[in-house]
């Protein structure tokens, strides 16, 4: 059977397309995309023209069966999303699951992911983190989710859009307290890239005061509850050292 290639694409800067992505996109029978218009633009920027298949969250189950049949018939396909890594707050999970269940080879072309890019520059503990994606849209559900996360000790990563960022910061301050260390990464790899850090309360003030800080795409990183991160890392290193002694 063919291979399903899961291909990451840039999150803003077209220079970030993984070099192997082009090779793979050139080689496949078709490219499954979230938004075929946007993917066509991306491909044509690189001088590529491939048959495109739309894969939406709402038709993914139905499509997966057809795509798996094509893969089993020997065709290789690529899966991309509008930006970043497929399946990360984007469609693809059902297709990948169906392909794996059918014994089809699934292979990644790793590359940009907004969550990991933000974590890599936030300056917050990164040894243990939890990706929370988008919070629920409805205010009550969002607050309930945050209440459940308030005691989480891992660093938390959230995605947020421009029209809800101010509200979400309000909710985060209410749920976690104004003093919790956090970082707000905006428009990563793009012209107006900004990474603000500070306690949640200060980030909220900053965003409320400056409309420019409410424009674009956001990743919010929030330090986990309670534990002192440095102490935790030191403890990890101590355990590792003791374990190494045993294994000598
Ligand atoms: N699959 C993508 C990935 O790997 O990052 C994420 C797709 S999700 C539908 C889109 C969200 O990712 C945006 O609302 C924003 O929270 C985040 N995002 C994407 N690009 C970004 C960027 N350049 N800077 C900051 N956040 C970004």
Looking from the CA of residue 161, the nearest atom of ligand 1 is 14
Residue 19 makes CB contacts below 8 A (sequence gap 6+) with none
Whether the predicted pLDDT of 234 surpasses 60: no
Centre of ligand 1 to C-alpha 159, Å, is: 7
Mean of the per-residue pLDDT values of the chain = 93
* Confidence tier at 219 by pLDDT (50, 70, 90): very high
Distance CA 230, CA 205 (A): 27
How much is the pTM? 0.91
Distance CA 164, CA 9 (A): 25
Residues of the chain with pLDDT > 70: what percent?
93
Residue 42 CA from chain centroid, whole number = 19
Sign of CA dihedral 187, 189, 191, 192: positive
Whose alpha carbon is nearest atom 13 of ligand 1?
Answer: 217
Instruction: Report helix, strand and coil shares of the chain as percent, to nearest 5.
Output: 45, 20, 35
- Regarding predicted confidence, which is higher, 236 or 58? 58
Which residue pairs from 177-181 have beta carbons closer than 8 angstroms and sit at least 24 positions apart in sequence?
178/202, 178/204, 180/222, 180/223, 180/225, 181/124, 181/222, 181/223
Q: Are 119 and 182 in contact (CB under 8 A)?
A: no
As for ligand 1, residues whose beta carbon falls within 6 Å of it are 11-12, 81, 83-85, 88-90, 113-115, 159-161, 185-190, 217-219
Sort strands 194-199 and 181-186 into parallel, antiparallel or unpaired. Answer: antiparallel
Least confident of 2-11, 59-68, 147-156, 227-236: 227-236
């Amino acid at each position: 059977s063919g291979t399903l290639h899961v291909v990451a694409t840039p999150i803003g800067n077209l220079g970030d397309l993984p070099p192997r992505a082009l090779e793979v996109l050139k080689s496949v029978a078709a490219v499954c995309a979230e938004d075929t218009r946007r993917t066509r633009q991306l491909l044509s920027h690189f001088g590529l023209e491939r048959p495109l298949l739309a894969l939406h969250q709402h038709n993914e189950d139905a499509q997966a069966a057809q795509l798996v049949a094509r893969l089993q018939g020997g065709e290789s396909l690529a899966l991309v999303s509008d930006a970043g890594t497929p399946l990360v707050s984007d469609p693809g999970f059902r297709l990948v699951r169906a392909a794996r269940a059918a014994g089809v080879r699934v292979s990644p072309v790793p590359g940009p992911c907004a969550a990991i890019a933000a974590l890599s520059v936030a300056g917050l503990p990164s040894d243990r983190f939890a990706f929370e994606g988008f919070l629920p849209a409805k205010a009550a559900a969002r607050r309930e989710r945050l209440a459940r996360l308030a005691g989480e000790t891992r660093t938390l990563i959230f995605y947020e859009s421009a029209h809800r960022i101010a509200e979400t910061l309000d909710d985060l301050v209410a749920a976690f307290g104004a003093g919790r260390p956090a970082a707000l990464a905006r428009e990563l790899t793009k012209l107006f890239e900004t990474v603000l850090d500070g306690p949640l309360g200060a980030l909220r003030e900053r965003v409320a005061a400056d409309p420019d800080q409410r424009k674009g795409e956001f990743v919010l990183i929030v330090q986990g509850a309670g534990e002192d991160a440095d102490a935790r890392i030191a403890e990890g290193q101590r355990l590792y050292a003791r374990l190494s002694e045993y294994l000598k």
